[in-house]
Amino acid sequence: MRLFIAINFKETAKDKILKISDEVKRFSEKGKFVNRDHIHLTLEFLGEVDESKLELIRNAMDMIKEAPFIMELSKIGFFKRRDGDIYWLGIKENKSLINLQSELHKYLLEQGFTLEDRPYKPHLTIGRRVVMSDNFNIESYSNQIENIRIEVNKIDLMKSENIKGKLIYTNMYTKILN
């Protein structure tokens, strides 16, 4: 099964993020924008994992000692791609978030998982294969993003599967931060 560990958001935060995504979408000529049900912040992508290893993932998650915290969105950005860019919302520098992800990464490695070995750059993907119209000014629009504060008090192990052509995320386990 295809798994990742993420911070999922309350509906009020999703509403604000979707509003920003819809504004960016208005300026796009093409692209696939994130569905409301798929809005999350990935902490670790695990990829294909055998069901027998679920207990190891839960063990790693349960070792985390980070307390609940607040994170804030910062700006709109994009990763340049040949077939259209990936648009994202940035996260303001947050020591608690970095500590949480670092602890999780360490504990998953200790449980024997193979993970990406590049620095963690937290962002919320809002669109893929996006081509923007010429009249979209990312800098001026980034400055207009309202101050969105998101309470983080849990992390979730998520299963991603394609069912009848539709991407479905299922929560497999939750670790409450305390």
Q: Point out the residues that are catalytic.
A: 40, 123
Q: Which of 31, 97, 89 is nearest to 68 (CA)?
A: 97
β-pairing, 154-163 vs 2-8, is antiparallel
Give the integer Cα–Cα distance in Å for 62 and 58: 6
Give the integer Cα–Cα distance in Å for 168 and 163: 7
Across-strand partners of 175? 155
Give the integer Cα–Cα distance in Å for 136 and 140: 9
